[in-house]
Structure 1
């Protein structure tokens, strides 16, 4: 793992688990591989942070968890999301185009995490036996049913989009990324101790 990311993980304070429903579900299903799909309306900010940090922390804690992200609409992975991840130590290679695929590297040895905006019906996502984590209130309120999900759990965060174009933009994107990383660190550390 890249040194800067390893150091950042060491700073993540253990706190209470954000969702005991999610912890209970994962504890009950630890025998197999678990698939987490982070869902937000545009699949451009919070759900992408969730996918990246769940992937990295599952690797860190050696958990059998696969992470994905999706939305209810296709847009693109927001450049500010990528800038925040880059500032936190990730290396990113991006394709060109309207909705490009971004290869997010956290280690020289591991395959990159692939980020792009997609809907919950995308063929790259598990079609059954996954947990849908609703990272924004709009998707949570407007998607009462996610086909194929074993569980649908609210896992909401404030949208850093509110700070786009302001002096606080970079700070708030990094804060949201760290908030999601901290919550997942608390969750995965609990799982690794069971």
Structure 2
């Protein structure tokens, strides 16, 4: 797919330019391949592409994955991609995740406060914002059928052997940056995980034809 850099905020485009998919190991590429296959099959059949990224609390890795996947779909001009996220339980989008995305160029607006704040996350002036908040994977906000369930953490992967309505269930797990909460390394580790996720999703969408 061809890229469409002009639609992204310039800082996000710069972040993407700095990513290097060659750092992804062959073993990891095999983990990512089922997602490539799912997206490509939908493109080939001119079908909508729905991807639900799932983690235990829908607070960190699943949101980073949702946001970067939607951004990469736009970057590579892959049409009709709709990305979601959910958890096995509802908590809140961890504020450091929003700050990490903001540091990469996303425009973050808090739409509502409370125990589970709702955020608008924009990657482009003219594209609809991603709505970020913690929700269960079967929330009414998420698709009920014809989607890929991407398990972004091993706990959710092991705890949810069956995802109702999913066409396919693909484990693509990431280490949890939560381990570094309230430490001097917190910002660094959240950024590291965000950029890893971005790099891998850049690789995935770069293969779509």
TM-score scaled by length of structure 2: 0.89
Aligned length: 192
Whole-angstrom distance in 2 between the partners of 1:28 and 1:113: 24
Would you say 1:34 and 2:49 are equivalent positions? yes
Runs of 4+ in structure 1 deviating by more than 4 angstroms, as ranges, are none
Task: Find the partner of 1:68 among 72, 77, 84.
Answer: 84
1:3-46 per-residue CA deviation (whole Å, 9 max, x = no partner) reads 11011111121235342122222222212111000000000000
Task: Give the alignment's Cα RMSD to 1 decimal.
Answer: 1.0
* Structure 2 partner of 1:146: 163
Whole-angstrom distance in 2 between the partners of 1:133 and 1:171: 25
Please show how residues 1-194 of structure 1 align to structure 2 within 5 Å: 1-15=8-22, 17=29, 18-30=31-43, 31-64=46-79, 65-94=81-110, 95-191=112-208, 194=209
SS at match of 2:207: helix
Structure 1: unaligned runs, 5 residues or longer:
none
Whole-angstrom distance in 2 between the partners of 1:44 and 1:141: 18
Give, in angstroms, the shift of residue 97 of structure 1: 1.2
SS at match of 1:167: coil
Whole-angstrom distance in 2 between the partners of 1:14 and 1:117: 29
Whole-angstrom distance in 1 between the partners of 2:90 and 2:149: 17
Structure 2: unaligned runs, 5 residues or longer:
1-7
